Structure formats: structure tokens, C-alpha cells
């Protein structure tokens, strides 16, 4: 699926994303040392994927944590309604959260029970207010002594997953449940910032989030996803995308379309048991969001059409974009054209009368219609002359509908279309504590670790390498892949968890000669310097563009003479080459300055990939949400 909530956080927006489908974020203990790796395991910690570090947990001594469940396609947390909850003391709502948006996907297993699903603090200290989502109600309170605003919603759906999206813009709020507008409230109540939050239970008034005895009204059901923007509201298009994403992740919209996925529907059209030729169209059963001329509308979209065979009645429709949800298939008879005086007709052309009578007239002999509309003779055996055209009456059949049905979905094996160009691929996965690293590209380059940088558990996807800022680094021998003079296009990318920063990457030949240099602080600074310190390229992503203690995707690309720098898919810097590259093949060092002096890097790295000859990114993009693949496309 192209759009995910990661798109919401590419512009330094703060918030929260609890993605139950990503088991690398789930742990069986509050300290995140025991990962969740199979169905029906306890979950005591969920790491936030927004990059804001707002992780949720329940203490190890709590008797009823939620459990991770999966059917192989969908993933959710099961809450049993008996003190099963996750909490955080982090400040979910921003310091000036006058505009926020919250979306989540749930399924209740208690008909009519209005128990807490999600709650965020909306005021400082234990006497603050809260923003509380029940089944069937939103409860907004600016302080424990302030009368709450209670917003009734539509009746909760318990047999299917329910999508809730609330948007506050600083002057009011809107609330939608399953895309049905519940309320628009313009009472000028701001959503105040506050520390703490819960999922699966409610906090008692005026009590903090660290006291188990003060929680009650447990939720009994499933939670699939929780997403919050804490310092701005959703745009209309973002709200539509979020609704579609949540629907797919819960299974409410069917299977998730993947890159290369195809879908089709096949069948036979018959009239009274006889094969018939008809136009057959497929329509989505569930309305989906579409952007039409800048406005978002929800409708059932036509997904493709075909014509059934006149002899067999067989048809096959290839569905648009590998659509994998339930569909209706509609067979349409040919209604023909309206009567037009003296219209020339060819054999096979059809005309329908101005006053419908259940028939159309098909031309059997070419000619022209008369000046005035004739009296149509309903004779299905013998052609009649109308003007100079011979025509015969044919019964007109109303559209026939079949469905809802699931299409046949096929998934192409995923792959990297540029795999053959990948010159270096370091996943940095393996046994925790390991100090040997493998290049997974087809080149299988030697990777030498110096001063024992090691793998740790807490990576972006799996494990990661950690540099402690003590002259630890790795080095890879150079070659044509590091000779920038011979590549028109180039891509260098990785995931990074910055701690104290430092010199992250250098390539060099000798001392004081041509070199590439990347320095990490609260930003990324990338330079290429020729012999004699002439600046070839300099990229600078800007102050505070790279927050510490959060996983971020960084990409440096070259297209012709234009270099670009991206953080989490957002283009932040561009630079044209000022002078030519030298023709050399420098070694690549990760984690240290070329000469071993000053500012060794402190932080973690995962998924380091170099693709010479390819500019993978030229404009804003969605960062990869899984490990880089090691296979090409078919």
C-alpha cells in the first residue's frame, strides 16, 4: 500500500503511531527485551512508529495485558475488558496543540457497552482534563473541575471494525465514525496539552496515569491501529487516506493492495440459459475516497469492464490497481441511441423509442430513419421498414447484478527493480553483540569492523549496529562503485537513530586528498571535496531537521549534476556540482572521520544501501517500511 501514516510525519509533525501489524514494535515485557514473535502472546510494550518516542506499555506485574493476535492477514491487540490496558506518561498532545487529529480502528465485542478505547490527557498534572473516546461517544474535558463536552456518535458497529477519526482545528472539532459525520462543534474549546494516555481503559478523574487502581471501564474487543497528530490537524486528503489505510489494516476494506498485485473477476453471462454478449462492469462494494478536482468524495468506483463472448458468454475483467475488496459485477444490455430524424444507420445499430416499452430496435438493413418517430412494431420475428432502414424488435433486459463477490487476487513476488545495480547492502542484522557484518549485495564486499562496534536489539526493523562515539567504525574497500566520476546517477541511503552525532561517513584516498564527508548533528551535512579543498558538492538539511533518539530514513541522491538530500522522504537540500569529480576509487568508512581524528559518530544504523547508476528519489517520497529486498523484480 503506497500511503501509510508515516506520510503524516515527514514534515516534522509530532504525534503517535501504534502499528499492531509491525511485530518488531511489540514486546512481551515493558523494558522491550523480549520481542513478540507469534500469535496469542502477551504484549506489555508497543513502540511508537511516528518517530516521536511516545511508547505505550503496561508494567510487568500487571495480570491482564492485551494479547497480540493475527489471522495471517490482519493483526490486532485483544483486550479482555478486565484491567487490560496500555499506558504512557509521554505528552501525546503537543505543547501548543490547538490543532490535533486522532484516528483509530477497533472492533467491540460488547454490544451496547460504552467503555473506553483511547484516552489522552488534555491538561497538566493530575488535575488535567482529557480527550476520551468511548464506544458511541467522545468525551472532552479541559480540566477535572470543568463540565465535559459529551459528543454522542452513531451507534457503534460490533460485527465489523469501526474507524473513528476526530479532527480539532483550534476553533472547533469534527468527528466521523465509519466516514459518517457525527458532529461539527464550533465551541472554540482548544485542546490543551497534557502528559499521559491510555488505550483499553479509562482514568478516574484527577488521577495520574501511573496509578493502576485509578483505571476503570475496560474495553473488551480488538484494537488494530492508533494514530495521532499532536501539533496539527489532518488535511481533507490526509483524512481520506487515513480512513482507507485503517480500513485495509483491519480487513474492513478487504486485502491490502501490494506493489505488483493484480486482481480479476471472471464469469458467464446467460439470458434464459443461453450465452449472451453483454458489456460487463465491476464496481467496488464499499465506497472509497477519491480525489476529484481537488475535492475528496466517497463513492463506489468503476474498476474495469469487458464484453462477454457472444457464443460462450464468458468474460474476464482485470480490476484497476489490483483491487482486492468485495465487488459487484453488472451486465448491461445495449439500450441503443435515442431516435433522431433521418439518422443514417448501419447494420447492428440500435435505437430505443422515446417512450420506453421494454424493447429496442436493431438494424438489419442499412438505411435512414424517417423524419418523424414512427409507431414501433413489437415483432421479434420479422424485420420492419422504418424510413429506409430495416429493423427488428429485440427485448431489452434490465442490468443484471451479481455480488458482492471477492475477486481473484494474485501477488507478484516483491522485488527491487534496481537490485542488479545495488553495490552495497548492509542490513546489520544478526546475533545481538556480534561484531562481524555481511554485505548482502551480489558483490559480497568485505566489511571490516574496527574497535568492535556491535549489533544491538533495538533496530528500526530488527537489529542494528551501534557506534558509541569511541572511534568505532567499519570500512569497506573502494572500487568502481565509489568512483563518483563515472556515475551520472547515484543513491546512498540508510536508517539512522542519532544519539550524539559526529562524523558519520567518509570516503578518502590518502590524507588531504579527494574525499566524501557526512556529518550528523541535528541535521545532515554532506560534502564532497576535491584535492586542494575545492568544494564539489555541499548539502545541508537545516537545523533541527534530524531529531535525536528517533529512527529516520536518510537518502542522498545524484541525478546528472544535481545532488539532493532527503530525511524521511522529504527533500530538504539540493546542490549542483561546482567542479568535476576526480577519477579515484576511495574506501568507504562508516562511523568515523577519514583520518581517525575528532568527532567519531554516536548512534545506530540499519539498512545501509548504495546504488550506483540509479537515482531512486527525485522528489518527496514515502520511506521504505520494511527491510531492503535482496531480489529483483520478475
Percentage of residues in the chain with pLDDT exceeding 70? 72
Q: Is there a single domain that holds both residue 267 and residue 165?
A: no
Mean local confidence (pLDDT), 211-223 = 65
456-459 contacts, C-beta under 8 A, 24 or more apart = 456/432, 456/604, 457/32, 457/33, 457/35, 457/432, 458/32, 458/497, 458/604, 459/24, 459/428, 459/429, 459/604, 459/606
Mean local confidence (pLDDT), 528-556 = 85
Helix (H) or strand (E) holding 198: strand 197-199
- Give the least confident one: 23-32, 80-89, 475-484: 80-89
Percentage of residues in the chain with pLDDT exceeding 90? 35
Asked whether the predicted pLDDT for residue 426 surpasses 80, the reply is yes
Q: What is the predicted pLDDT for the residue at 296?
A: 47
Q: What is the pLDDT of residues 296-328, one digit of tens each?
A: 445 566 788 889 999 999 999 988 767 777 889
CB distance 455 to 604 below 8 Å:
no
Q: What is the predicted pLDDT for the residue at 429?
A: 87
**Core vs surface per residue 39-57: b (16+ CB within 10 A) or e:** eebbbbbbbbbbbbbbbbb
Mean local confidence (pLDDT), 346-351 = 94
| Mean pLDDT value across the chain | 79
Q: Is there a single domain that holds both residue 384 and residue 460?
A: no
Asked whether the predicted pLDDT for residue 122 surpasses 80, the reply is no
The whole-angstrom separation of Cα 615 and Cα 536 is 18
Q: Is there a single domain that holds both residue 300 and residue 446?
A: no
Asked whether the predicted pLDDT for residue 450 surpasses 80, the reply is yes
Q: What is the predicted pLDDT for the residue at 114?
A: 45
Q: What is the predicted pLDDT for the residue at 331?
A: 94
- Give the least confident one: 147-161, 288-302, 368-382, 609-623: 147-161
Mean local confidence (pLDDT), 407-416 = 76
Q: What is the predicted pLDDT for the residue at 624?
A: 83
Quickly state the pLDDT bin for 34 (edges 50, 70, 90).
very high
Residue 14 lies in a domain: yes
Look at 206 and 464; give whichever has higher pLDDT.
464
Q: Is there a single domain that holds both residue 314 and residue 181?
A: no
Look at 175 and 382; give whichever has higher pLDDT.
382
Quickly state the pLDDT bin for 427 (edges 50, 70, 90).
very high
Quickly state the pLDDT bin for 134 (edges 50, 70, 90).
low
Q: How far is CA 533 from CA 411, 486, 511, 530, 584, in A?
A: 51, 21, 12, 6, 16
Mark which of 231, 250, 269 sits at the end of a domain. Answer: 250
Question: How many residues can be counted in the chain?
Answer: 634
Q: Is there a single domain that holds both residue 114 and residue 89?
A: yes
Q: What's the CATH number where 440 sits?
A: 2.60.120.200
DSSP letter string, 318-370? EPGGG--S-EEEEEE----EEP-TT-EE-TT-EEE-SS--SEEEEEEE-EE--
Q: Is there a single domain that holds both residue 155 and residue 189?
A: yes
- In the numeric block, the cell 458467464 is attached to 268
Q: What is the pLDDT of residues 557-609, one digit of tens each?
A: 999 989 999 998 889 999 998 777 777 888 898 988 655 556 789 999 999 99
Mark which of 351, 385, 410 sits at the end of a domain. Answer: 410
The whole-angstrom separation of Cα 205 and Cα 197 is 13
Q: Is there a single domain that holds both residue 456 and residue 598?
A: yes
Mean local confidence (pLDDT), 48-65 = 86
Look at 295 and 62; give whichever has higher pLDDT.
62
Mean local confidence (pLDDT), 358-376 = 95
Asked whether the predicted pLDDT for residue 387 surpasses 50, the reply is yes
Residue 550: all three cell numbers together: 528517533
- Give the least confident one: 13-27, 388-402, 489-503: 13-27
Q: What is the predicted pLDDT for the residue at 244?
A: 75
Q: What is the predicted pLDDT for the residue at 131?
A: 63
Q: What is the predicted pLDDT for the residue at 567?
A: 93
Q: Is there a single domain that holds both residue 81 and residue 226?
A: yes
Q: What is the predicted pLDDT for the residue at 180?
A: 53
Mean local confidence (pLDDT), 553-558 = 95
Q: What is the predicted pLDDT for the residue at 238?
A: 77
Mean local confidence (pLDDT), 447-470 = 90
Q: Is there a single domain that holds both residue 289 and residue 371?
A: no
Mean local confidence (pLDDT), 23-36 = 92
What sign does the dihedral 538-543-545-548 (CA atoms) show? positive
Q: What is the predicted pLDDT for the residue at 393?
A: 96
In the DSSP assignment, the letter for residue 213 is G
Q: What is the predicted pLDDT for the residue at 243?
A: 77
Look at 599 and 466; give whichever has higher pLDDT.
466
Judge if the upstream peptide bond of residue 218 is cis by omega within 30 degrees of 0: no
Reading phi first (left if > 0) and then psi (alpha if -120 to 50, else beta), residue 184 is in: beta
Quickly state the pLDDT bin for 513 (edges 50, 70, 90).
low
Q: Is there a single domain that holds both residue 462 and residue 602?
A: yes
Mean local confidence (pLDDT), 89-98 = 59
Mean local confidence (pLDDT), 406-411 = 82
Look at 23 and 193; give whichever has higher pLDDT.
23
Residue 627 lies in a domain: no
Residue 624 lies in a domain: no
Mean local confidence (pLDDT), 198-219 = 59
Q: What is the predicted pLDDT for the residue at 596?
A: 52
Segments in 190-232 forming alpha helices (H): none
Residue 119 lies in a domain: yes
**Strand pairing category for 350-352 and 337-338:** parallel
Residue 356: all three cell numbers together: 420506453
* Strand blocks (E) in 64-144: 67-70, 75-80, 86-88, 100-108, 116-121, 128-134, 137-143
Q: What is the predicted pLDDT for the residue at 219?
A: 76
pTM above 0.75, yes or no: no
Residue 617 lies in a domain: no
CB distance 505 to 519 below 8 Å:
no
- Three-state DSSP class for 122? coil
Q: What is the pLDDT of residues 248-274, one digit of tens each?
A: 777 655 555 555 567 899 999 999 899
Residue 621 lies in a domain: no
Residue 255 lies in a domain: no
Q: What is the predicted pLDDT for the residue at 124?
A: 42
Q: Is there a single domain that holds both residue 392 and residue 405?
A: no
Residue 634 lies in a domain: no
- In the numeric block, the cell 565509489 is attached to 482
Q: Is there a single domain that holds both residue 377 and residue 293?
A: no
Write out the residue range of the structural domain in which residue 525 sits.
419-612
Number of domains in the chain: 4
Amino acid at each position: 500500500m503506497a500511503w501509510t501514516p508515516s506520510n503524516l510525519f515527514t514534515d516534522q509533525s509530532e504525534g503517535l503511531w501504534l502499528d499492531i501489524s509491525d511485530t518488531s514494535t511489540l514486546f512481551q515485557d515493558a523494558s522491550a527485551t523480549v520481542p513478540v514473535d507469534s500469535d496469542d502472546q502477551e504484549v506489555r510494550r508497543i513502540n511508537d512508529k511516528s518517530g516521536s518516542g511516545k511508547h505505550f506499555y503496561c508494567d510487568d506485574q500487571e495480570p491482564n495485558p492485551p494479547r497480540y493476535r493475527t489471522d495471517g492477514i490482519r493483526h490486532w491487540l485483544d483486550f479482555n475488558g478486565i484491567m487490560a490496558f496500555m499506558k504512557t506518561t509521554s505528552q501525546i498532545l503537543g505543547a501548543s496543540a490547538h490543532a490535533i487529529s486522532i484516528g483509530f480502528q477497533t472492533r467491540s465485542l460488547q454490544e451496547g457497552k460504552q467503555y473506553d478505547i483511547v484516552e489522552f490527557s488534555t491538561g497538566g498534572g493530575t488535575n488535567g482534563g482529557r480527550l476520551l473516546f468511548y464506544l458511541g461517544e467522545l468525551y472532552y474535558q479541559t480540566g477535572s473541575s470543568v463540565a465535559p463536552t459529551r459528543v454522542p456518535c452513531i451507534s457503534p458497529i460490533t460485527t465489523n471494525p469501526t474507524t473513528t477519526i476526530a479532527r480539532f482545528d483550534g476553533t472547533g472539532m469534527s468527528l466521523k465514525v465509519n466516514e459518517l459525520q457525527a458532529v461539527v462543534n464550533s465551541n472554540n474549546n482548544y485542546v490543551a496539552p497534557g502528559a499521559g494516555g491510555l488505550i483499553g481503559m479509562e482514568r478516574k478523574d484527577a488521577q495520574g496515569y501511573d496509578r493502576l487502581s485509578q483505571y476503570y471501564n475496560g474495553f473488551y474487543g480488538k484494537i488494530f491501529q492508533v494514530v495521532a497528530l499532536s501539533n496539527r490537524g489532518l488535511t481533507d486528503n490526509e483524512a481520506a487516506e487515513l480512513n482507507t489505510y485503517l480500513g485495509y489494516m483491519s480487513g474492513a476494506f478487504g486485502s491490502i493492495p501490494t506493489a505488483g498485485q493484480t486482481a480479476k473477476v471472471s464469469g458467464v453471462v446467460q439470458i434464459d440459459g443461453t450465452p449472451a454478449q453483454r458489456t460487463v462492469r465491476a464496481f467496488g462494494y464499499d465506497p472509497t475516497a477519491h480525489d476529484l478536482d481537488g475535492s475528496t468524495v466517497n463513492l463506489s468506483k468503476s474498476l474495469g469492464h469487458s464484453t462477454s463472448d457472444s457464443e460462450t458468454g464468458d468474460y474476464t475483467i482485470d480490476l484497476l490497481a489490483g483491487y482486492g475488496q468485495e465487488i459487484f459485477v453488472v451486465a448491461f444490455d445495449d439500450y441503443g441511441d435515442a431516435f433522431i430524424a433521418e439518422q443514417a444507420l448501419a447494420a447492428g445499430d440500435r435505437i430505443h423509442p422515446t417512450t420506453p416499452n421494454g424493447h429496442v430496435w436493431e438494424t438489419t438493413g442499412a438505411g435512414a430513419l424517417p423524419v418523424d418517430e414512427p409507431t414501433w412494431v413489437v415483432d421479434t420475428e420479422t424485420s420492419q421498414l422504418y424510413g429506409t432502414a430495416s429493423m427488428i424488435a429485440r427485448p431489452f433486459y434490465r442490468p443484471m447484478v451479481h455480488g458482492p463477490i471477492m475477486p481473484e487476487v494474485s501477488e507478484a513476488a516483491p522485488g527491487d527493480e534496481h537490485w542488479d545495480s545495488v553495490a552495497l547492502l548492509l542490513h546489520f542484522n544478526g546475533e545481538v553483540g556480534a561484531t562481524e557484518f555481511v554485505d548482502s549485495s551480489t558483490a559480497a564486499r568485505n566489511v571490516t569492523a574496527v574497535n568492535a562496534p556491535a549489533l544491538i536489539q533495538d533496530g528500526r526493523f530488527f537489529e542494528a549496529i551501534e557506534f558509541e562515539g569511541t572511534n568505532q567504525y567499519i570500512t569497506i574497500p573502494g572500487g568502481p562503485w565509489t568512483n563518483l566520476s563515472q556515475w551520472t546517477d547515484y543513491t546512498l541511503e540508510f536508517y539512522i537513530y542519532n544519539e550524539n552525532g559526529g562524523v558519520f561517513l567518509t570516503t578518502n584516498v590518502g590524507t588531504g586528498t579527494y574525499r566524501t564527508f557526512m556529518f550528523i548533528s541535528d541535521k545532515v551535512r554532506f560534502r564532497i571535496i576535491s584535492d586542494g579543498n575545492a568544494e564539489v558538492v555541499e548539502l545541508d538539511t537545516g537545523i533541527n531537521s534530524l531529531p535525536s533518539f528517533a529512527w529516520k530514513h536518510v537518502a542522498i541522491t545524484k541525478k546528472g549534476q544535481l545532488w539532493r538530500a532527503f530525511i524521511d522522504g522529504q527533500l530538504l537540500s539540493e546542490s549542483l556540482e561546482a567542479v568535476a569529480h576526480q577519477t579515484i576509487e576511495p574506501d568507504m568508512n562508516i562511523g568515523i572521520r577519514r583520518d581517525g581524528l575528532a568527532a567519531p559518530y554516536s548512534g545506530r544504523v540499519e539498512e545501509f544501501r548504495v546504488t550506483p547508476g540509479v537515482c531512486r528519489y527525485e522528489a518527496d517520497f514515502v520511506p521504505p517500511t520494511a527491510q531492503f529486498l535482496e531480489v529483483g523484480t520478475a
